Structures are given as structure tokens and as C-alpha cells.
Structure 1
Amino acid sequence: MLEFEYKREKQNILISLKTDATQFGTFHRIATIIYALKLDILSGELKTLIENGHEYTVDSFLLQADEGALGQAAFQLGVMMDSLFSKNAKFEEILSKLQIQEPAVSTFFRESPEFIFTDLLDKNQTCLYLETSAGRGLLYYVSRILMENQINIVSATIETDPKTGRARDSFFLTNVQGGMFASSPLAERIRAQILAPMQTI
């Protein structure tokens, strides 16, 4: 099930989607499509809602496209999202058809990146606050590492400072058991994996 809407806002695209796909890696799949279409996520909000006993993912994003590619990008995005959430679709097959070039990850973390993990006892969730240089592919990269560690993104707020170009993103997460993990070795492992490209510079 997918409800997808988009509209143009000046030189950007505002999209919203609602789906009953709430398994690990749902946001990474969305971020992969966005990145593959050469779009950049400027801001956004991710939510997990329960309606009539059913769980839904409800997301909205403000996207930036290359100059002159706005209309085509919006159309392709709708087609790809429909394919992504089709019950007959396999993400691996969709991925194999996309020509994805890995982002220059090291450029995201050159200027004093911040990774702060905090356990929220009232929610039984861990907040990951990420502040670093923004750029196309950042969320594709970070969400992939979270997925590989079986981290569930319950909700998130994505922001990019228009003056400094800094990403200021907050992810509200649970581990595979559905609990917090800021004080466990898992948090440090995720941090190390995200920053690994910096070790080669």
C-alpha cells in the first residue's frame, strides 16, 4: 500500500508518502531511490503511526534537483516509489537496475562532525543526533549503516542549515529487540562504521 503525493515548490520538490511497509530498512530504500535519481534531501520528517490497529510509515521530504531536471525527476520518483512498495517488487532487483555511484562519503565528515547517542527512557528509544556537512547521498549512506545493524528508525527530523550547509538530523531509533542502545557497544560500532572512510584520508 502506498499513498504518494508531490508538488513543486519553486526549485524544489515536496513529497509525502504513506505506506504500511514498516520493516527495517524502509527509509534506506526510500533514500536510495532519491539518491539514485540525483535528488538531495534538504529537510524532512519521518513518523510511524498506528491507525485502527495497523502501523504505517508517514514521511515528507523537501528535495532539491539538478537545475532543469525538476519535472522529470518528480515523475521518475513517483514511478520508482510505486515499484518500490509493490508487493511483487524485490528491492534487490530494483537496486540492480539503478546505476548508483557511491557518494564521496569522506567529504561529509571533514568539518567537526557530531554523533550524539542519547537514550530516551520515557520512549524506550535512542536518539542519534547527527550534525555534519550536508551533501547528496549523506542520508543514503547513514541509513544503510543503520539498516545493516538492524536498527529501526521510528521517527526522524531532517534539517539543513541554508547558511552553513550543515545537516542537523535527529533519528529516533530502536535496536532489533525494540529497545535502547546508546550505552551499549552497538552505538560505538555504528559511529565507527559511519566514520570509517575518514580513516583512509
Structure 2
Amino acid sequence: MKSFSCTVAGDRELILEIRTPSIKEGTLYRLSAAIYSLDLDIYSGDIDTLEEDGELYSYDRFVLRTMVDGSARKLSEIGLKLGMLMEALLSDDSDPEELIRAGEKEIPRPESFFEAGVEVLFDQNTEKGETTMYLEAPDRPGLLFTVARLLFRHDVNIVSATLRSTYGGHARDLFHLQSKGKPLSAEKIEALSSFLSQFTASEN
């Protein structure tokens, strides 16, 4: 079963914890769309895939920050709304991008994140049967949605991830990836690299 909790952790912070029973491409894409649609920024996050009684579950924990100061009551209301949006997105075939547009927000353009330069490194871990992707880029609201959408469109599943923001305003994220239960093929890595290389500092 799915479980969800969102607790107030400060004047501008929420702690989001979510457990989903199925592991499939696009889960983080949908979750990050709900987060972005409410003008929340992901300060840090941990995404894990665990097995219980032969079933795979995704356990995700995020530290979220609002763009403006708010009362505890206001933050609690945001948390409740976030829970409803996530339930809707994970329960049916709702379009994450339609959710964003419904809130009169624009879909983030990749160049808005990566124009100042992006570092992306891939490595194959044959022992674990996965590919790691390290990404460093300017940290702005919607970055995780943009990355998760890119991976979803290339049929890539995020097995686990560590998301961190520096005091200097950079995201330093490490993703553990698979496609159909296996490490990414050389062709898939090339496709992802080619897309991101459009925005690297060395190309400017």
C-alpha cells in the first residue's frame, strides 16, 4: 500500500516521506511535477528501492522549501494539497505536464537550468547491474522535474538517488539507473549525454 506524510520542519521547510509499492519508470517524474506545481523547491532528497516479502517498494524522503515564508498552518495546507496531487498522479493516467499547466505555470525549459553549465558523468556498475549518473547544475525550482522527465522519456528507471544542494546554489545529484532491469546501454547513455551536452559550459 502507499503511505504519505508531510510534516512542517521550519518556517519554510516541509519533510515529505512517501512509500509506493510499485517500481516503474516515471514515478519520480510524477512526484516532482506535483512538488514543482506548488512552488516548492527540493533542498535535498533520498530515493531508495527496497524489497519486502518479495515485493519491491520505493521509499522517498525530501526536504522541501517554499519560495516565501509561511505560517505552520499555511505549510500544513500545502502539505495536504501535495498529498492529494500525488495520490491523483500515482493512481491513474493523469498527465504531469497538464497538472503544471493547470496551475498556470510553464513547463521548465532545460536551458533555464543548464545554460550556466552542467556536469554529467556516467559510470557502469556491472556488479549491481545499474548505471550511475552524477549531475551538477545550478539549483533552481523544477530541476528535478526536468531531469526526471528526460529519464522517463528515455525509458530509464531511477532505482535510487541522492539529491543535495550546496550553499553556493548548486545541485549535486547522484542517480542509480536501470532500463528493463539492466544497466543502460551505450546507445541510451549516448542519447542522454547528447541531449545534456547542448548546455555544457564547454559548448558555450
AA aligned to 2:136 is E
Preserved CA contact (<8 Å) 1:132 1:168: yes
TM-score of the pair, normalised by structure 2: 0.87
Report how far residue 195 of structure 1 moved: 4.7
Q: Which runs of 5+ in 2 are unaligned?
A: none
Q: 1:164 aligns with which of 159, 162, 168?
A: 168
Report how far residue 95 of structure 1 moved: 4.7
Preserved CA contact (<8 Å) 2:30 2:90: no
Preserved CA contact (<8 Å) 1:145 1:194: no
Once the two structures are superposed, residues 93-124 of structure 1 have per-residue CA deviations (whole angstroms, 9 ceiling, x without a partner) of x6535334122432322333210000012111
SS at match of 1:18: strand
Structure 1 partner of 2:16: 15
Instruction: State how many pairs are aligned.
Output: 195
Q: 2:86 aligns with which of 81, 84, 87?
A: 81
AA aligned to 2:14 is I
Q: 1:173 aligns with which of 150, 171, 177?
A: 177
SS at match of 1:41: strand
1:45-56 matches, within 5 Å, as 45-56=46-57
Cα RMSD, aligned residues only: 2.2
In structure 2, distance between residues paired with 1:191 and 1:167: 18
The farther-off stretch of 184-193 and 68-77 is: 68-77
Identity %: 31
Question: Relative to 1, partners in 2 of residues 1:194 and 1:55: Cα closer, same or farther, differing over 3 Å?
Answer: same
The farther-off stretch of 152-161 and 106-115 is: 106-115
Q: 1:128 aligns with which of 120, 133, 149?
A: 133
SS at match of 1:17: strand
In structure 2, distance between residues paired with 1:104 and 1:95: 13
Preserved CA contact (<8 Å) 2:15 2:62: yes
Q: Which runs of 5+ in 1 are unaligned?
A: none
